[in-house]
């Protein structure tokens, strides 16, 4: 399996590179080349018409084992944990992971907090780049953190894995230079900003997009959305149950007009009625995600179009999702 895994991993890296995901920081190519994804997904579930098919690396059938290995290195999200038929954990689409890591803009010596341990694969990529002691990953579910530790140990990485409420951050490991979340949020928790150094970058999925905030101080952060769409399992493993990439941590088909309109509706939920949102969206030239931003200031947070002090601004929920 060793040679097959190396070849499959090299093919995945070429596919990620062709997608442009490494463009913001090509140094992540080496991490994806080195870290063996299959060790982080010893089994996973594939949606079928009858439910889910479990694929696992210890299957006595060599054909089934080959199918498992091939699937582990496809550029697709993988369902890794189900509970009562509901998806609670996944391994995100590698090209989306690469894009997010590149957009995190880490530098040597940075300390990173990851919200949502998942399989441990993302933490391993961070640890490969920065060193074990620079990476902290947190998840509420002790089963998830325990399996992440096992996977990380098998791959030879030992970042700090914490079982706890990710919305509270990990204050004992602060301050952080970067925060990255691999779960969908309804708001940006103030605890994350408070645990960051000035100038830190916070990259999180929100409203079917990815917001990149720059922290000014413990009570203030501001930034704009990336152009790409992104869909993840919600924080604390609750929410959507469908088996598609929307739930698993992936990128859908290229953005269509209706997708961009739905982004505005989701972002401004409760502040704009859909007809009002549609009229604004058409009037402003059907703006894409990158024209929107978020400001967090003390106990206030708001989303905006084009300018945080402009005419289009909408209040966001309090900082706890």
Greater confidence (48 vs 119) lies with: 119
% of the chain surpassing 90 pLDDT: 77
* Residues 228/229/235/238 CA torsion (nearest 10 deg): -170
Choose the catalytic residue: 19, 89, 90, 92. Answer: 89
- Partners of 314 in the β-ladder: 303
Distance CA(71)–CA(29), nearest Å, equals 20
Residue 236 confidence (pLDDT) above 70: no
Distance CA(126)–CA(104), nearest Å, equals 11
Among residues 171, 113, 161, 156, which one has the least CA distance to residue 141? 161
Residue 244 confidence (pLDDT) above 50: no
Would you state the pLDDT for residue 251? 55
| pTM, entire model | 0.91
Greater confidence (84 vs 280) lies with: 280
| Whether the Cβ atoms of residue 37 and residue 92 lie closer than 8 Å to each other | no
Instruction: Return mean pLDDT, the chain.
Output: 90
Residue 269 confidence (pLDDT) above 90: no
Query: Among the listed ranges 158-167, 198-207, 262-271, which one has the minimum average pLDDT value?
Result: 262-271
| Whether the Cβ atoms of residue 305 and residue 291 lie closer than 8 Å to each other | yes
CB-based burial, 150-161: b 16+ in 10 Å, e otherwise: ebbeebebbbbb
Would you state the pLDDT for residue 249? 63
Distance CA(93)–CA(289), nearest Å, equals 20
Residue 58 confidence (pLDDT) above 60: yes
| Whether the Cβ atoms of residue 253 and residue 93 lie closer than 8 Å to each other | no
Across residues 282-308, what is the average pLDDT? 96
% of the chain surpassing 70 pLDDT: 92
Scan for tokens 């101080």, then name that residue.
217
Q: Is 89 a catalytic residue?
A: yes
Q: Which domains, and CATH codes, for the chain? A: 2-248 (3.40.50.150), 257-315 (no CATH)
């Amino acid at each position: 399996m060793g040679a097959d895994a190396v070849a499959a991993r090299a093919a995945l890296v070429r596919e990620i590179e062709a997608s442009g995901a490494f463009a913001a920081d090509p140094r992540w190519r080496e991490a994806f080349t080195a870290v063996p994804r299959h060790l982080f997904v010893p089994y996973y579930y594939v949606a079928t018409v009858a439910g889910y098919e479990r694929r696992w690396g210890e299957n006595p059938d060599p054909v089934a084992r080959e199918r498992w290995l091939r699937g582990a290195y496809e550029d697709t999200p993988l369902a890794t944990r189900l509970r009562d038929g509901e998806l609670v954990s996944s391994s995100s689409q590698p090209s989306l992971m690469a894009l997010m890591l590149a957009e995190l803009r880490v530098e040597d010596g940075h300390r990173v907090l990851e919200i949502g341990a998942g399989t441990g694969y993302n933490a391993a990529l961070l640890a490969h780049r920065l060193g074990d002691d620079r990476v902290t990953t947190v998840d509420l579910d002790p089963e998830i953190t325990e399996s992440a530790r096992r996977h990380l140990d098998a791959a030879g990485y030992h970042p700090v894995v914490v079982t706890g409420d990710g919305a509270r951050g990990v204050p004992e490991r602060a301050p952080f230079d970067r925060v990255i979340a691999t779960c969908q949020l309804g708001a940006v928790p103030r605890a994350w900003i408070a645990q960051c150094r000035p100038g830190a970058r916070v990259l999180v999925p929100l409203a079917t997009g990815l917001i990149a905030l720059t922290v000014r101080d413990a009570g203030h952060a501001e930034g704009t959305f990336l152009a790409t769409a992104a869909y993840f399992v919600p924080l604390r493993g609750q929410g959507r149950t469908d088996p598609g990439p929307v739930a698993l941590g992936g990128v859908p088909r290229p953005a269509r007009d209706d997708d961009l309109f739905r982004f505005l509706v989701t972002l401004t939920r409760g502040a704009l009625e859909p007809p009002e949102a549609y009229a604004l969206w058409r009037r402003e030239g059907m703006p894409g995600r990158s024209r929107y931003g978020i400001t967090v200031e003390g106990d206030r947070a708001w989303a905006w179009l084009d300018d945080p002090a402009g005419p289009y601004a909408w209040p966001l929920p309090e900082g706890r999702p």
